[in-house]
Amino acid sequence: MAMSTGTAEGEVMVEMNTTPLIDVMLVLLVLLIVTLPIQTHAVKLDMPAPNATPPTVIPETVELGVDFDGTITWNGAAVDRPTMDAYLEDAARKNPQPEIHVNPNRLAKYDAVARVLADAQRLGETHIGFSGIDQYN
């Protein structure tokens, strides 16, 4: 193996041969890929046992809407914040609690919807969900 240390003009050549370095890096990369465990896409969850008997009492549902201008509706009727708070307090005391289906307008401000959800949680309502999600597709 011949190696040249200079050029015809007498200058020193300062180039490093990187081929062996690249070869070693590729071998290390292949070894790393081979030794990694195969990732599975399954998620193991401890699911509860299925309930053989359906619930005997079907809970009441309440449609709670938030319009684009911040107007709050309770089952279709416009209400102000103190009235909504009183309704939510009454709903939280019931056994079983009614399901609150929040249906915000697609143009409603996030702040208005977040306030309604925070009020419902603060007043003890635990069965809250969103409905009307299909309008966002």
Question: Residue 84: what pLDDT?
Answer: 94
| d(C-alpha 137, C-alpha 131), whole Å | 13
Regarding predicted confidence, which is higher, 123 or 15? 123
Q: Give the mean model confidence (pLDDT) for residues 42-66.
A: 83
pTM over 0.75: no
pLDDT digits (tens, 9 = 90+) for 35-46: 887 776 777 888
6's CB contacts (< 8 A; 6+ apart) are 12, 13
The pLDDT mean for the chain works out to 86
The structural domains of the chain, ordered by start, are 61-136 (3.30.420)
Specify burial of residue 71 (Cβ count, 10 A radius: 0-12, 13-18, 19+). middle
Give the model's confidence band at 16: pLDDT under 50 very low, under 70 low, under 90 confident, else very high.
Answer: confident
Q: What is the pLDDT of residues 21-35, one digit of tens each?
A: 999 999 999 998 888
User: At a CB cut-off of 8 Å and minimum separation 6, what does 109 contact?
Assistant: 68, 70
